[in-house]
Every structure is written in structure tokens, then in C-alpha cells.
Amino acid sequence: MPMGKRACGIICFAAMAAVFVAQAAKESLSFHGTTDKDPIAYACGEEMVFTVTLVDRNAKNAPVAGWRIAWTLDGDDGSHRAGEATSDQPLVVKAKQDTPGFVHLVVRAIDEEGRQVPGSDIFDSSAGADVMHIPAKLPPDDFNAFWDLELARLKSVPMKCALEPVETKDTNVVVNSFSVNLIPSVGPATGLVAWPRSAAAKSLPIIVDVPGYGYGRARIDEGSVLRDGGAIRLHITRYGEDPLADGAYHENMWTNVMQGYCWRNNNAKTANEPYLMVMRDVRAVAFAKTLPQWDGRTLKVGGGSMGGYRSIALAALDPDVSHCSPSFAWLCDLAGRPVLGRIGGWFPLWTPELAYVDGVNFAMRVKCPVDMMFGLADYVCPPSGQMVLYRNLRGPVKMKYAQCVGHGCGYGVNSPDWTREKPAVDDAAEGCDQWGGSLTGPQLAATGRFRVQRHNGVWWTVDPDGRLYRNLASAETPDPSAPARPTPFVAYVNAESRPLWKAPRAMRDPFDSTFGLCVTWDFAGRRPLPHSPWCLGLVVDRDIDFGATHQELARRALLAPDDQPAKRALLKRLVADGIDYYAAKGPDQLSDQVLCGLSDYLLGEYFSRTRDSVEHVSGGALYLGCQFAAPPPPWVVAQATGRVDILCGDGATQWRGLPDNLPAAELAPLPWPSVSARPQ
């Protein structure tokens, strides 16, 4: 009996699948991939070029032809692309980011069903644009005050420590388990501590080991205690567990007692588990500093993943920490995905309370030297958060980053790496107060908000403490690699009322009934933002097309449909001025002088009505006009003057000014102004 076509097809497909499996077994498929330059050295809008080649590990990484390969490319800006190719030629994927952030490329060898070939590797890596300008949510205004109070509470509790000797293989090493009390109702800090038996008083550094996420018995490498002249080694447990209990105990803690660790109680500032873990770490180190063998100078902390995060927090909260070595640091930039919309990591769901334990916020208190590292394929702890961490650290930093390296694992056959360094930030040398105002200039009235004021014949921005923020006419370009700190920020309003004409960048019609309401609507879900003392001001509208000539706004309005509110307003203005206008003849019947006057009328109403709307919602923040992609026309500047507090600068200077650590996706660095201030 002859086979049907369907049965024949099944057999043929099975035969093809067998060929693919056999070929995969013969060839150990992997990838070799590079970018055309340092992967975090791109600028916004610059083309990034990935070149990826399918290779055979069993043939000294020789290129392999004849395979289907599929790729996906995702961006921190929300973009997504995908494609397929064959491995006959190297795969070239080009990308760019118009805003600061990363793109993430993943490439796979696939079979006829589009599934990854069994046993094959993937290519996984990223590239970033203007990575020192990646927006980040600022810490709460009381972040430092909160932690100073918590540390004071902890210190006020008399320390009680229990030590239990632990048997060692090397009799030259002393090892103890320890348990140190915290504040009432909070469990103890536990772990292991070791030092050379023969160590003299005040002779040893303290080296703190903080493990990453997971569970298991605590361990100290006895050889490391004696190495390089000896050290006090401190191993702190994750959640105050018994460091020496058997495997069943630790598995029960992990799967039952502590299941969902760090994902629980995150609506409470002092009950969430990152907070409790950090407090235990601080207390354990405080205990170690009481040991007579400590030299009183050297205190090193380090770890990977959650241990990297813990080492950052320790360096932030204990000024005695002399060096910090985080790698693949977890819990950094927790608001990156939910608040700012970029590619997220493996993090607890965002709550405002988690801002108090975010690693990038702790970084702003870290002044000791830091050696950090991360992988550009690590999307447990995304590269965007690692760059914000790097930027926020206040002490000198050495950073190593590698392509094709994930969260402690590698992808493909190559992992090129790079290094970057930045010096410590010296606030005193900068001569700035907390807002960035000059400590060497005059002291004006402190109002608690940024404002503009004329002083000695020059318009200045004055910070909330009454210090001159900067001379708007002679600002110097800041170092783009300078670390971020809580800084004044600019909020953008996405106003979407009716435009004067149908075009993407058309000026909004100031006479439309929704013109003022749209500012209120945009801030309805984030009302506290403009009321922050760090909010310098609001920018409303971006890259507006005001027309190529002074007369063009009036022409466009008069050519609009009869129901256009601005057209009706201009016709009334002509009647009031005694000027005849015949619709059939159009705007060409009017002189250039009249058309310029009508354009000025539209611009004046636009800036005045926008200012009134901003003052209604801003809580005292300045009105910064609109952002310009090119030098603003002089007739626009003329109408903005007297109505706008600070008019944002032209395209050549729009990235000069404020540091770039920003609290929401709508925020961006303040362009330096080309016009000073509205008269008071």
C-alpha cells in the first residue's frame, strides 16, 4: 500500500531533523562576536555595529556555514527588532540609541522549527550610547537623614556578641562563629570570623566576604587568613542563619522560612529584607572592628551579585571601609524598568520604599576607592544600572566590563574586556553646596526653591539655600564623566493640545480650550515631582517648528480651517486694529509688518498662557520655556523674554549644564539658557 503525502512528509522531516542533530553533534556550535569600538563609548545617534560569526569550538573556532541563525535586538528606549540570516557570512547587526542607554543583542543557531540547536551556545551582549547620561531616579530627599538615624539607633544598642570556636584544619588559624545583636525585635547578625593565631594587637587588616543570593553553610578559606601577612577574615551570613548548620537546615531556611527572600515586605522601609541584611552587615563589621588584632586602618569589603550590593552598602554606611570590590552588583537601579521604562533585571517589584536600599543611591555615600566589574550580557543586573552605579560613586573608581559575559557566566568563544577610571569627587574643592551653588559667592535669601534673581546687574539662578547657582552667561562645560549626586533636575511636560496646523512639530494653539489643561493632565499622575526642591523648573514642548520667517506663524494660522481658535483670534485682532481682511485673498494681502505683529501676538499668548499653566501646577518651580533643537529665532526669543524664567539654550549648548542623574523618564539635562530671566 503506497504511503500518503503526509506520511512521506513526516518521514522526510524526521530524516532532516536527524541530519541536523548529527551535524550539531559533529560541530560544537558557538559564536565569536565584537563591536566596532569600545561598546560603551558610543554617542547618542551614533551607529553601533555588531559583527557575529558562527564557529565550531571543535575546529579551533573556525567559521561554520550552512546554518540558520536568528537574532533579537532590544533597546533601553523600548525598541525591538528581530531577524534571520545564514551563517555563510558573518552576521552584521547595526543599531543606535537616540537617548542614553543600551541595546541588547542575542543571536542563536536555530533548526528548521526555529528552535535553538541543542547543545549550541548563544551570542549575548550589549552596547551603550552616552552611558554617563543614563537617567536615574534620584534618592528620596531624606535618604541620608534616614540612614543616619538608623545607624544612630543601631549604635545606641549595647553590643552583645557570642563567639563559638570552630575546629580548623590548620592550627595556625583561629576560627569562630559569631552572633551579634541588633536593635530589639530584629534577629542577630551571624557568620564566621578568623585570624592568624599568632597575630599581634593592631597588626591585621579586616577583609569582609559577603556572599551572594542563595543558601548554604558559611566557609572561610583558612589559607586566605594567613596569605600576604595575614588578615582578619569576616564571613557574614545572608539573613542571620546558623552559619554551621547541616544542609537540611539551610535548604529548609531557603525553601520555607526565607522563601521569596528580598521579594517580601517591600512596602515598609525598615521591614524589607535588603534593609535588614544591610543592618546586619553593618553590625557584624562593627563587631569585627572591636577585635584587638585590627590595625585600625584597613577594612576591605567585596563580593559578587548580592554580595557586590552588600559591599557597596557597607562602604556607604561605614566610613572606616577603606576599599570596596563589588562585581556584578545586584539591586542597583531598581526603578530602571518600572519608572524609566528601560530593559529590566531580576529585581523585586518596585516600591518607593525600595529607593532607600537601592545600590545606586548607596553609591552616593561611597568615598573610598572602588574596583568594580560587570558583564555586558548580564541582564540579571543590567548594564544600565551598573553605569549609574559607576557614575554615582564618589571615590576613585576603576571599572572593568566585558562583552559576552553574563551574570558570572560567559557566552561564545570570546569575551573582550575594557577598563575605565574616574577620580574622586571633592565637594570642598568644587566649592559647592548640596545644590551645586557657589560657596564662595554672596549669600542671598534662602527660599527653599530655585529662583531667578538679578544680582549686581547680572541675572542668576539662585539655589534653595540662597547661593548663586551659575552665571547663565558664562557657564563652563562640566566633565561628562563626573559622578552623579542628588542634583537639580528639569521636568518635561508632554503637552498635547490642538496644534496650529497638522504637522508633528507644530506649535500648539494657545487659544484652544485644552491648551492650559494639558499641562495639568500631564502632571496628574506625578504631582509631587514639581514640588520637590530639587526640581529647578519645567520645560513645556520640544523641538517646536516656529516657522522659517517671522511672518510664517501668522500665515499658517490664517490659512487654517475656520474652526481653528487661533485663526478666529487673529481675525478679531485685525478688526480691532481697523485692518480689512478678505478670506478669499488670504494672508498675502497683509503687509509683512502686520503679519509679524500677528505672529508676535500668537507667540506672546503661547508663552504667557503656558507660564500661567506651569505656575498652577509647579509649586514654585521655574518656567524654562520649550526645548530648541536649533538656535531659536530672534523673534521667538523676543516674545519669550519677560514671560519665561529661563529660555533653554540652542542645539550647540543644550547638553551643557546640570549633572545628569534624573528622577523620571520625562527628565533630561538642562540646556544652558540663551536668554536670562523674567523680570521680578
Which candidate, 343, 301, 76, places its Cα nearest to that of 205? 301
Q: Does the residue 490 lie in any domain?
A: yes
How many angstroms separate the CA atoms of 326 and 19, rounded? 47
Same domain for 465 and 485: no
Same domain for 644 and 556: yes
How many angstroms separate the CA atoms of 132 and 391, rounded? 7
Same domain for 550 and 611: yes
Same domain for 179 and 79: no
Same domain for 386 and 312: yes
Residue 612 has pLDDT above 60, yes or no: yes
Same domain for 452 and 339: no
Per-residue pLDDT of 302-334, as tens digits, reads 999 999 999 999 999 999 999 999 999 999 999
Q: Does the residue 248 lie in any domain?
A: yes
Same domain for 182 and 72: no
Same domain for 128 and 214: no
Look at residue 3 in the predicted model and tell me its pLDDT. 38
Which of 133, 153, 177 represents a domain boundary (last residue)? 133
DSSP H/E element including 2:
none
* Radius of gyration in angstroms for the set of CA atoms belonging to the chain, rounded to a whole number: 31
Q: Does the residue 362 lie in any domain?
A: yes
Per-residue pLDDT of 554-575, as tens digits, reads 999 999 999 999 999 999 999 9
Top pLDDT among 542 and 572 is at 572
Q: Which domain does 342 fall in, by range?
A: 162-366+375-391
CATH of the domain at 70: 2.60.40.1930
**Across 426-441, average pLDDT:** 72
- State how far the alpha carbon of 269 is from the alpha carbons of 118, 140, 275, 295, 352, in Å: 46, 12, 7, 35, 9
Give the residues across from 326 on adjacent strands: 303
Top pLDDT among 530 and 638 is at 638
CATH of the domain at 361: 3.40.50.1820
Look at residue 479 in the predicted model and tell me its pLDDT. 38
Domain count, the chain: 4
What pairing do the DSSP bridges indicate for beta strands 80-86 and 417-422?
unpaired
Same domain for 248 and 217: yes
Residue 175 has pLDDT above 70, yes or no: yes
Which of 86, 115, 133 represents a domain boundary (last residue)? 133
Q: Does the residue 210 lie in any domain?
A: yes
Q: Does the residue 156 lie in any domain?
A: no
Same domain for 387 and 346: yes
Same domain for 469 and 488: no
Look at residue 442 in the predicted model and tell me its pLDDT. 84
Q: Does the residue 427 lie in any domain?
A: no
Q: Does the residue 492 lie in any domain?
A: yes
**Across 495-503, average pLDDT:** 87
Which of 474, 500, 535 represents a domain boundary (last residue)? 474
Same domain for 508 and 564: yes
Q: Say if residues 472 and 505 touch (Cβ distance below 8 Å).
A: no
Per-residue pLDDT of 264-302, as tens digits, reads 999 999 999 999 999 999 999 999 999 999 999 999 999
Q: Does the residue 399 lie in any domain?
A: no
